[in-house]
């Protein structure tokens, strides 16, 4: 299966910070996994020098722009859009996406097994109750209002790590225009770096599809003995 699986990292922006973080994460991944390939999705394939055997993919922002998303906001251009549409670019049948500011302290490859056993086309960490409803304090204490406006339960997601099959892109295609059209109508907050967090979009799609999040993986990722999921110090 190793040749059908791989990792995807996003490197975008006007500074070298995310390139440096990606190099750090590539080294970190190789401590635990020397077999699966790594692809980097970026807005400029010629800007950086990458280690041998890293696959580089060009992201096409213009293909994904939406009239109700402020495309002048840096986060939307360099974070929101790439994370939402990454599955369109993966060369793998099964992909583990990782935010580049992660550092694994323990072997994380067991997450592949969790993905295959979860019976869904995507594994995403998060929290929800038995009805697939997020804790009320999520999304700046506003998630209950979003759920009320949508009239369906949606979970809390933690998109610093996701594992999905290639065809998950068809689920994005089916839902994304409707979701982006209605973010404002549902009272979704644009408080993350001046824009919408990608996680709320994944949560909404998980709710539409009645997919469940994986809380044990969430707890493993936020345990400092296992992982530092948001370390931007380089």
- 18-34 pLDDT, tens digit per residue, is 999 999 999 999 999 99
Q: Where are the beta strands (DSSP E) in the chain?
A: 5-11, 37-42, 54-58, 94-98, 103-104, 122-123, 126-127, 156-157, 161-165, 227-228
Contact 66, 85 (CB under 8 A): no
Average pLDDT over residues 216-222: 98
Residue 89: its pLDDT value, please?
98
What phi, psi does 153 have (nearest 5°)?
-75, 145
Evaluate whether residue 222 is within a structural domain.
Answer: yes
- Tell whether 233 is covered by a domain: no
Number of domains in the chain: 1
- Is residue 2 predicted with pLDDT exceeding 90? no
Check pLDDT > 80 for residue 1.
no
> Residue 15: its pLDDT value, please?
93
> For residues 211 and 164, is the Cβ–Cβ distance under 8 A?
no
Q: For position 3, what pLDDT does the model report?
A: 77
d(CA 43, CA 211): 31
**Mean pLDDT estimate for the chain:** 97
Q: How far apart are CA 97 and CA 75, in angstroms?
A: 18
Give the model's pLDDT for residue 31: 98
Structural domain of residue 161, as residue ranges?
2-228
Q: Cα separation of 143 and 133, whole Å?
A: 9
- DSSP β-bridge partners for residue 54: 38
- Is pLDDT above 80 for 112? yes
Percent of the chain with pLDDT over 70: 99
Per residue in 61-91, pLDDT (tens digit) is 999 999 999 999 999 999 999 999 999 999 9
Contact 218, 158 (CB under 8 A): yes
Residue 202 forms part of a structural domain: yes
Residue 98 lies in a domain: yes
| CATH number, domain with residue 44 | 3.90.550.10
Instruction: Measure the CA dihedral 71/62/7/92, to 10°.
Output: 150
Give the mean model confidence (pLDDT) for residues 148-172: 97
Q: How confident is the model at residue 221 (pLDDT cuts 50, 70, 90)?
A: very high
CA atoms within 13 A on the CB side of 138: 20
234 domain-assigned: no
pTM of the model: 0.97
Shortest CA distance to 15 belongs to which of 35, 43, 52? 43
- Mean of the pLDDT values across residues 106-126? 97
For 170-208, write each residue's pLDDT tens digit: 999 999 999 999 999 999 999 999 999 999 999 999 999
Contact 195, 162 (CB under 8 A): no
């Amino acid at each position: 299966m190793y040749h059908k699986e791989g990792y995807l990292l996003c490197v975008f922006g006007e500074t070298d910070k995310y390139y440096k973080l990606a190099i750090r994460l590539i080294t970190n991944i190789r401590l635990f996994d020397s077999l699966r390939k790594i692809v980097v999705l970026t807005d400029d394939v010629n800007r950086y020098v990458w280690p041998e055997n890293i696959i580089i993919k060009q992201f096409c922002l213009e293909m994904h722009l939406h009239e109700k998303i402020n495309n002048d906001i840096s986060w939307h251009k360099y974070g929101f859009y790439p994370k939402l549409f990454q599955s369109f670019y993966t060369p793998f049948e099964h992909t583990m996406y990782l935010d580049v500011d992660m550092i694994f302290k323990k072997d994380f490859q067991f997450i592949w097994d969790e993905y295959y056993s979860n019976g869904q086309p995507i594994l995403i960490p998060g929290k929800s109750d038995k009805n697939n409803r997020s804790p009320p304090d999520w999304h700046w204490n506003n998630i209950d209002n979003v759920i009320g406006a949508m009239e369906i339960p949606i979970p809390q997601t933690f998109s610093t790590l996701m594992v999905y099959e290639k065809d998950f892109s068809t689920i994005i295609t089916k839902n994304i225009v409707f979701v982006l059209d209605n973010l404002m109508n549902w009272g979704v907050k644009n408080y993350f770096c001046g824009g919408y967090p990608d996680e709320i979009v994944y949560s909404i799609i998980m709710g539409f599809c009645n997919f469940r999040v994986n809380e044990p993986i969430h707890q493993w990722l936020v345990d400092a003995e296992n992982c530092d999921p948001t370390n931007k110090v380089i």
